[in-house]
Amino acid sequence: MKKYNVAIVGATGAVGSEMLRCVLEFNFPYESIKLLASARSAGKTISQNGIDFVVEELTADSFEGIDVAFWSAGGSISEKYMDAAVKAGCVNIDNSSHFRMDPNVPLVVPEVNSEALRDHKGIIANPNCTTIMMCSAVNRIEEVFGIEKITVSTYQAVSGAGVAAMDELYAQSRDVLDGKEPIAKVLPSGGDKKHYPIAFNCIPQVDVFNLENGYSKEEMKMVNETKKIFGKDIKVNATCVRVPVLRGHSESIHIQTKKPLDMPLVFEVLANSTGVHLYDDLANQIYPMPTAFIGDEMVHVGRVRQDLFSDHGLNMWAVSDQLMKGAAYNSIDIGLKMIEMGIL
């Protein structure tokens, strides 16, 4: 089997460090692994699975001899260095939002639309974390019943905004418990004018607002990316909220189906959906919660109920470690899928 020279761009970050773990634990066939980050991190050692890796500074020359690069250093870094990587012949799987809506770039959740990978031109985009978990959770419902519209509210963990936001939740929680005023410098993400404390709070802003229509960019990613991934006009209404959870996004999802629902079939379909774990047993108070699934790569679905007033309405609760399925794992899974399809 071919072995690949792998690079991880943004390897010291919340997503990048999970990417390294995923490459090792999901047996991505590597020959070498190069960890790249800013000049601040150059020379740092990262230990994973008993192996020590030394971080190198990202430059335009970093991609010579690299077969596949997994990117999670933010949109501006992807924008600046992607050309050099593509020219060096490297296949790039990018976690930033920069290329997602580019018609020349496939946007992929492997269990939903892996065929789109065949059209890549050196760049594949990893969708937004909230979008990936929703698309994975509803994929088989779409196949069996057809989806007209989704109404979703998210409960997003601070780690979605990176290491700095995780540090902020810890520090603020400590300050509040010590009777001190919490200091807010990071969240809401994209909040360039104002910051609010997340400890013991909820913030109905993730990423910046689109002042024309009142939705946040995060909400519009769910609208636009879902359409692109399914290649269908699935309508999405989203409300994205940051909650004081360290790791793992949750979503309350309402689906309006095209065909009338058959609830026993709904449960059967969800129990047999790739990437989905149906975790729903009310008599025993079983339902997914973020702390139960840290480090796990599945989307966990529970609280599955029919709309009380319509046989075309379905309610469910989905939970996933967004650093895994929403970011690192989905990217490594894209790479593994490409190998399986013979296109990497």
- Contact between 328 and ligand 12T by CB under 6 A: the answer reads no
- Contact between 160 and ligand NAP by CB under 6 A: the answer reads yes
Query: Catalytic residue at 129?
Result: yes
Q: How far is the CB of 159 from ligand 12T (least distance, A)?
A: 8
Of 67, 71, 81, whose CA–CA distance to 35 is shortest?
Answer: 71
- Contact between 15 and ligand NAP by CB under 6 A: the answer reads yes
**Candidate list 110, 160, 182, 197; residue touching ligand 12T; CB under 6 A:** 160
Neighbours of 197 (CB within 10 A): 19
- Contact between 134 and ligand 12T by CB under 6 A: the answer reads no
Identify residues 75-114 at the interface with ligand NAP (CB under 6 A): 75, 77, 95-96
Residue the block writes with tokens 């690192």: 328
**Candidate list 4, 20, 41, 336; residue touching ligand NAP; CB under 6 A:** 41
**CA 96 vs CA 13, 47, 129: distances in Å:** 13, 25, 10
Q: Which stretch binds ligand 12T (CB under 6 A): 44-52, 154-162, 230-238, 284-292?
A: 154-162
- Contact between 219 and ligand 12T by CB under 6 A: the answer reads no
Q: Which is nearer to ligand NAP, 63 or 145 (CB)?
A: 63
Query: Catalytic residue at 90?
Result: no
- Of 129, 135, 240, 300, the active-site residue reads 129
Task: Name the CA dihedral angle for 234, 239, 242, 248, rounded to a multiple of 10 degrees.
Answer: -30
Task: Name the CA dihedral angle for 250, 256, 260, 263, rounded to a multiple of 10 degrees.
Answer: 10
Interatomic CA distance for residues 291 and 78, integer angstroms: 31
Q: Are 218 and 203 in contact (CB under 8 A)?
A: no
Q: How far is the CB of 324 from ligand 12T (least distance, A)?
A: 14
Peptide bond into 188 cis (omega under 30): yes
Residue 24 site contact among ligand NAP, ligand 12T, none (CB < 5 to 8 Å, cut-off depends on kind): none
Residues annotated as part of the active site = 129, 249
